[in-house]
Structure 1
Amino acid sequence: MQQRRYISISAAVGLAVAVLGAGQSAQAYEFYNQGETKLNADVLAVYGWFNSRKSYDGNSGGTSWREGFIKYGVSFEQGLSGNGTTYGALNWVSSGTWGSGDAAGITDGSERTTKIDDAYLGWRSGNLMPVLGEDGLDVSFGRQVVKIGDGFIINDDGLNFGKGVADGELNRGGAYYLAARHAFDQTAVVRIGGKQGLHGDLMWMKSDNRAQAKTELAAGTLAYTTEPGELAFTYIHGIGVDERYASDFQRQRDGMDIYSVRGAGNAGVENANFAFEYAWQDKSAGDEKAWYVEAGYTFADVTWSPNLTYRYSRYSEGWDSMFNGFSRGYGTWFQGEVAANYAGPFNSNTQIHHVGLTATPQEGLKLGVLYFDFDTLQTRGNTDTSGRELDLYAEWAVSDHLIITPLIGLYQPDKSLDNGGVQGGGNGTNVYSQFTVAVPF
């Protein structure tokens, strides 16, 4: 049971958590722009300090640790004199974890790795095919991030284990929470129809991530997008896994079919946002389902323009969270900084009520409060991860090249390690804190 817990989660993935919160507009330095040629130097450094008074690795007591990474390389665009645009990138990531390792024991503090993350080439059609619209055909291949919708099923390959589990066999270089590496190892993507009206994607991706059993997938989407919102359908087929690293749970990905329908937009209501997705997995052990509904509203005429959001999500007992990830900010799709990253649930066998409130006191500063109520659906034979969590955070873009994000989480499970839960040292409230600094260029 403990092995399945580690293998099946999609863990603490955030593409530079602070950077996502403040926007990704400043992650490249343009050092050459002449004619149809653009060259960028891509540099992003993130460092974080973490402390948890409780642990979720089978031990009592707390832990403190540090994580960091630097992503660096080049990207380019080259116009082809009316025949579209080629583009690509080559980026490395150097990462590490220091201290005692994270609260789930997935890292031990000794991880250090440098590897290529992005290495891809692509071509966009520009106005070459008017019937498809501007950039109506976009073809790319190589090592890159592939995302479907808002990341409910596939967001990236961002699971970054360390040496703390499986005798280090799943080690990807540490930085478990910050999750420096996101690209699938091998991909081929064809996007048709641009981003408005009727459009779709055909995708093939293969992971080299041992913690994901090197899963190989094919996928297709069909979407219709207008000003009020988007309605989309997705089909995903599991082609195979690497048996050497696959748990019994992950072996079901071989031959599995996933179907989903989703929608998002304001439905014509100014300052509102609505979203939903319903997905089901057809696999050898039986059908599994997951879905959510969400509604939010920004009080634009009120001081600090507060945004209030409510979401209900439900994941059946054997739902495979696949490659979901940090998508629209804190709480998607890692719900609760303690729960989603260390304690569980890990988007399986649970229902979650979520309320979020954000406010913007000034440009570049956002304050947020997130509340989660977790309820395990089937406790017989399973770990009970029912509980509640309150997260308070700030995202402060001090400048274009400095973003600071402090966060405090208060997490209280219903059960402790001694009576069916995972928190060591009793089921009292865990005080969790983190402080991340991002330096993008």
Structure 2
Amino acid sequence: MHSAIRATLLFLGPLYALVPQAQAYELYRDEGTHLNADLTVVYGLLSSKHNYIGRSGSFRWQEGFAKYGFSGETDRIGAGSVYGSLALISSATWGDGDPGGYSIGKERRTSFEDAYIGWRSGSLLPALGQDGIDVSFGRQPIKIGRGFLINDDAANPGRGMGLEYDRGGAYYLGARHSFANTAVLRLGGKEGLHGSAMWIKSKNPALSKTEMALATLEYTAAEGTVGMTHIRGLNVDKQFTDAKTIERKDIKMYGLWGEGNAGIPNAKFGFDVALQDKKSGNEVAWSAQAGYTFADFPWKPEISYRYSYYPKNWDGFFTGGYLDDGWTLGEVAGNYVRGSFASNLAVHAISLRARPYENLTVGALFYNYRTVANRAVLNADANAVEVYLDWAVTRHISVSPLFGLYKPRKDQGNGGSQSSSSTNVYTQLVLSANF
């Protein structure tokens, strides 16, 4: 698979963060034990005036998924508490498929998503704090720090990349997040000094079925959290690698990050710095963000700015996310444009949000993309603007429309990615429900 395609996939699955997390239907509860039935259903209608696979005409397609299963916890099995989840996902894409060519509109799949069990120590070891030991195994999502290096296993290509890469459609919605195999040990709870050690294996062909070991050390106080991460690549499936991802087998990564308000009410700060030590040489990527909420103003407006820098040979690894809370670089650029991804790119991003009502958020985002090197090979320079609503219609149902404009400097005829250098008009309407 072409390295540009693989790198673009690192930003898949952005909208899932918008979906209200399941309130769950309580099947059983008594003192110390509960069992829930969980259901999330999401459906999206999407369109793009231009595409990124050299075809003429616009694209219109639909995506959907349902995640359903059970979760629970009990403290009646010895000391501490046992918890776990078992869930499946059914997903599909209809219509033309997406404009990046990752799905073709014929994807359908039902598969296990979550299947894990864990144990928390509760108050058993006071010296380590509440739940000072947390051990879990199985299929589960894993996020490290702010998600700059690992934010779940969320690449969800379809048949457009070949049958061997198909994860069942819903490319944009990105329903599937869980790593196939994990063993996780967390120590120290969630306050003060705490850390973790993990073994993680992906079975996602789009991410080279990477296997890794990692450790984290964090400190959390009222002002925020700072943390360090060390990742060691253990193995990859060579069938699904390219010149960049083949180096994951022995890669070493070191990350330093932080987030919080630094003691300033209504402020939000965040930063990430990461080093990749691999055979072809060392690479350093970084990002910094600052924001403020005007809590005393009508609608409580928020403004934030983020700058992200990825050098030419950076491996985006398992990064991902959405809007202010993640690493997707815009709906069009971060999902469909081959070249606007976590490599050889510098991005300025401004976000404006307000809440006219408790159940309604309105927002706008502005992006400026600049290619760091080798513009003659692939020029990702562009500007984009997006406006959106997040409307919680009821406790269980939400509606999220978005309208975006994306203007690249170059088209495919002279070193760019888009079929035309004119402005792309992108729209989507996503409906979600949790029960």
For the superposition of Structure 1 and Structure 2, which TM-score range results when normalised by the shorter chain?
Answer: over 0.9
d(CA) in 2 for partners of 1:155 and 1:6? 19
SS of 1:225 mapped into structure 2: strand
Q: 1:230 to 1:117 in 2, by over 3 A?
A: same
Q: Does 1:141 align with 2:137?
A: yes
Q: CA deviation at 1:230?
A: 1.2
1:18–1:404 CA contact under 8 A, matched in 2: no
Aligned to 2:431: 437
Aligned to 2:191: 196
Q: Does 1:67 align with 2:98?
A: no
Aligned to 2:311: 316
Aligned to 1:13: 13
d(CA) in 2 for partners of 1:18 and 1:81? 35
AA aligned opposite 2:6: I
* Alignment deviations for residues 90-143 of structure 1 (CA, whole Å, 9 cap, x no partner): 000000000000010100000000000000000000000000010111000100
d(CA) in 1 for partners of 2:57 and 2:378? 20
Q: Does 1:339 align with 2:333?
A: yes
* Alignment deviations for residues 259-315 of structure 1 (CA, whole Å, 9 cap, x no partner): 011111111111101110100101111111110111000000011000000111100
Q: 2:207 aligns with which of 206, 212, 216?
A: 212
Q: Does 1:101 align with 2:100?
A: no
Q: 2:115 aligns with which of 119, 138, 162?
A: 119
Q: 1:235 aligns with which of 215, 230, 242?
A: 230
The 5 A counterparts of 1:138-287 are 138-165=134-161, 167-287=162-282
1:259–1:281 CA contact under 8 A, matched in 2: yes
Q: Percent identity?
A: 47
Q: CA deviation at 1:382?
A: 3.1
SS of 1:60 mapped into structure 2: coil
d(CA) in 2 for partners of 1:79 and 1:160? 36
Tell me the number of residue pairs that the alignment of Structure 1 and Structure 2 aligns.
433
1:373–1:389 CA contact under 8 A, matched in 2: yes
d(CA) in 1 for partners of 2:347 and 2:332? 14
SS of 1:5 mapped into structure 2: helix
Q: CA deviation at 1:81?
A: 6.8
AA aligned opposite 1:438: S
Structure 2: segments with no counterpart, 5+ residues:
none
Q: Which range is displaced more, 352-361 or 329-338?
A: 329-338
1:82–1:126 CA contact under 8 A, matched in 2: no
Q: 1:27 to 1:382 in 2, by over 3 A?
A: farther
d(CA) in 1 for partners of 2:104 and 2:209? 23
* Alignment deviations for residues 52-95 of structure 1 (CA, whole Å, 9 cap, x no partner): 00001122321000000000011110113771110001000000
d(CA) in 1 for partners of 2:296 and 2:33? 43
d(CA) in 1 for partners of 2:357 and 2:375? 49
2:129–2:188 CA contact under 8 A, matched in 1: yes
SS of 1:16 mapped into structure 2: helix
2:49–2:59 CA contact under 8 A, matched in 1: yes
Q: Does 1:352 align with 2:351?
A: no
Q: 2:387 aligns with which of 375, 389, 392?
A: 392
d(CA) in 2 for partners of 1:58 and 1:332? 29
| TM-score after normalising by structure 2 | 0.97
2:33–2:76 CA contact under 8 A, matched in 1: no
2:139–2:178 CA contact under 8 A, matched in 1: yes
AA aligned opposite 1:249: K
1:15–1:182 CA contact under 8 A, matched in 2: no
d(CA) in 2 for partners of 1:223 and 1:231? 6
Q: Does 1:86 align with 2:86?
A: no
SS of 1:43 mapped into structure 2: strand
The 5 A counterparts of 1:377-388 are 377-380=372-375, 382-388=377-383
1:18–1:437 CA contact under 8 A, matched in 2: no
Q: CA deviation at 1:241?
A: 0.2
SS of 2:426 mapped into structure 1: strand
Q: 1:373 aligns with which of 345, 368, 375?
A: 368
| TM-score after normalising by structure 1 | 0.96
* Alignment deviations for residues 218-238 of structure 1 (CA, whole Å, 9 cap, x no partner): 111001111011111100010
AA aligned opposite 2:99: A
d(CA) in 1 for partners of 2:269 and 2:334? 23
1:8–1:249 CA contact under 8 A, matched in 2: no
The 5 A counterparts of 1:49-68 are 49-68=45-64
Aligned to 1:362: 357
1:11–1:342 CA contact under 8 A, matched in 2: no
The alignment's C-alpha RMSD in Å is 1.3
Q: 1:390 to 1:330 in 2, by over 3 A?
A: same
2:253–2:274 CA contact under 8 A, matched in 1: yes
- Runs of at least 4 residues off by over 6 Å: none
AA aligned opposite 1:97: T
